[in-house]
Amino acid sequence: RHLHSQPQSHGPPPPPFGIAFDIDGVLLRGESPIGASQQALRRLYNHSGELAIPYVFLTNGGGFRESERALELSKLLGVHVSPLQVLQGHTPFKQLVSRFENELVVAVGKGEPAAVMSEYGFKNVLSIDEYASYFDGIDPLAHYKTWITRKAANRSTLEGMTTRDDVCSQRVQAAFIVSDSVDWSRDIQVLCDILRTGGLPGREIGHQPELYFANDDLAYQASFPSERLGMGAFRIALESIFNSIHPRALQYTCFGKPNPFVFNNAEAVLKQLVSSLYHKAGHGNDRTHHFRRLYMIGDNPSVDIRGARQAGNPWFSILTRTGVFKGTDNHAEFPADMVVNTVEDAVDFILKKEC
Ligand code: G3P
Ligand code: MG
């Protein structure tokens, strides 16, 4: 059940369409598949379990390496997912490697944010858990947080930085919010320390290091009946506190949907996918494949639908009612090209129209 190349000289030509699936609120809520989302995905594979329709997961979520996320999604959704198909909010952070390759950077969020950044090529990256553990008293509430003790034991050994002094005396050049912050109070405190002091907590005020967010989602669906606060909410909290204690406004960059470059990148990856599926069948090579239509199936009007609309042709947006959007009609501010109840309805529509 892999991304097999079609046999030489026969087999159908590559489809002129592809699909980008949002994850939270479309396919999953927490770890549970929504409705018949597993069956909907299965329709994109042939009888031998090989991928027949090019599709990617285009999520603003993250916290784990794309290879690990592919394994997890394969398990939760019951289909074989390749790491190439997993585009997470933080995936574009790899474009910043050349700028920070050997600089000390701090990675924030649930899961394994430092492992994600190391995989992208960052050589001097510490999770904020580990970084904070080198500064005595940096979080005055730490001893009320019993889970912190486990983290301190989990130290990495960075090249040339083996002692507390090495870490504390080296300037942090950038902070990356890779996934949702687990401990807002500690993370806001430590980020304010890093950002106000030019990357040297406890020292004088200095030039603000770079700050990057993997997404700016105010809310997302998750498993609870009403929406949960997302990274955008954390950004507002950090920004408003920073701006209250610092004379210069916080500078930052947000990645993820709805930025048009995320959709352009998804199109490029879908072309790569077509190339890996069909390149031996003599149907033209890799990046030259032309998609007549690309479908974005999402649940969040201001993120998924807005992004697909901004990206323009060949994107066609489909809004489901299984997540953030629960309205009866279309969304007023960011109307989708089509509104359906579930992802099964969306896949059904696409396959009827295209096949
Ligand atoms: O934390 C995840 C959330 O912000 C969005 O996930 O899959 O709906 O883009 P998704
Ligand atoms: Mg979603």
Query: At a CB cut-off of 8 Å and minimum separation 6, what does 329 contact?
Result: 339
Pick the CATH number of 17-89+257-319+341-354 from 1.20.120.50, 3.40.430.10, 3.40.50.1000, 3.40.50.9100: 3.40.50.1000
Nearest-atom number in ligand 1 for the CA of 89 is 9
How much distance in Å is there from the Cα of 228 to the middle of ligand 2? 12
Give me 20's structure tokens: 């980008």
The whole-chain average pLDDT of the chain stands at 93
CA nearest to 91, candidates 112, 68, 120, 127: 120
How much distance in Å is there from the Cα of 248 to the middle of ligand 1? 31
The answer to whether the CB of 97 falls within 8 A of the CB of 120 is yes
Q: Tell me the ligand closest to 322's alpha carbon.
A: 2
Q: Is the pLDDT of residue 3 over 90?
A: no
28, 108, 177, 217: residue to mutate for ligand 1 pocket, most atoms within 8 A of CB: 217
At 316 the pLDDT is 98
Q: Is the pLDDT of residue 280 over 90?
A: no
Q: Which numeric CATH code is attached to 91-254? A: 3.40.50.1000
Structure confidence at residue 17 as a pLDDT band (50, 70, 90): very high
Identify the residues whose C-beta falls under 6 Å from ligand 1.
22-25, 59-61, 180, 215, 217, 220, 230
* ipTM of this complex prediction, to 2 decimal places: 0.98
- Residue nearest atom 1 of ligand 1, based on CA coordinates: 61
Q: What is the average per-residue pLDDT within 185-195?
A: 98
- How far is Cα 215 from Cα 61, in angstroms, rounded to an integer? 8
116, 177, 179, 220: residue to mutate for ligand 1 pocket, most atoms within 8 A of CB: 220
Q: Tell me the ligand closest to 230's alpha carbon.
A: 1
Q: What is the average per-residue pLDDT within 262-272?
A: 97
State the residue for tokens 């080198």: 134
At 10 the pLDDT is 59
Burial class (CB in 10 A: 0-12, 13-18, 19+), 353: exposed
**Where exactly are the structural domains of the chain?**
17-89+257-319+341-354, 91-254
- How far is Cα 56 from Cα 343, in angstroms, rounded to an integer? 14
Nearest-atom number in ligand 1 for the CA of 25 is 8
Nearest-atom number in ligand 1 for the CA of 304 is 9
CA nearest to 92, candidates 68, 59, 115: 59
126-184 pLDDT, tens per residue?
Answer: 999 999 999 999 999 998 987 655 555 556 666 666 678 889 999 999 999 999 999 99
Least confidently predicted of 119-128, 163-172, 294-303, 308-317? 163-172
Kindly provide the b/e burial profile for residues 146-170, where b requires at least 16 CB atoms within 10 angstroms of the residue's own CB.
eebeebeeeeeebeebeeeeebbeb
State the residue for tokens 């048009």: 260
- Residue nearest atom 8 of ligand 1, based on CA coordinates: 24
Please confirm whether the linkage preceding 258 is cis (ω < 30° from 0): yes
How much distance in Å is there from the Cα of 211 to the middle of ligand 2? 24
Nearest-atom number in ligand 1 for the CA of 323 is 8
21, 22, 24: residue to mutate for ligand 1 pocket, most atoms within 8 A of CB: 24
Least confidently predicted of 77-86, 113-122, 142-151, 230-239? 142-151
Kindly provide the b/e burial profile for residues 204-227, where b requires at least 16 CB atoms within 10 angstroms of the residue's own CB.
eeeebbbbbbbbbbbbbbbeeeeb
Give me 350's structure tokens: 């696409």
51-68 pLDDT, tens per residue?
Answer: 999 999 999 999 999 999
Judge whether 17-89+257-319+341-354 and 91-254 match in fold. yes
Q: Is the pLDDT of residue 8 over 50?
A: no
* Reported pTM: 0.93
23, 66, 300, 305: residue to mutate for ligand 1 pocket, most atoms within 8 A of CB: 23
- How far is Cα 328 from Cα 350, in angstroms, rounded to an integer? 21
The answer to whether the CB of 16 falls within 8 A of the CB of 292 is yes
Structure confidence at residue 283 as a pLDDT band (50, 70, 90): low
> Ion ligand 2 — residues with CB under 5 Å?
22, 24-25, 299-300
DSSP codes joined into one string, 99-135: HHTTSEEEEESSS-HHHHHHHHT-SEEEEHHHHHHTS
Nearest-atom number in ligand 1 for the CA of 299 is 8
312 vs 150, more confident: 312
- How far is Cα 297 from Cα 45, in angstroms, rounded to an integer? 18
Q: Is the pLDDT of residue 236 over 70?
A: yes
Q: Is the pLDDT of residue 96 over 70?
A: yes
Q: Is 79 helix (H, G, I), strand (E, B) or coil?
A: coil
- How far is Cα 102 from Cα 78, in angstroms, rounded to an integer? 39
Q: Is the pLDDT of residue 9 over 80?
A: no
Q: What is the average per-residue pLDDT within 292-312?
A: 98
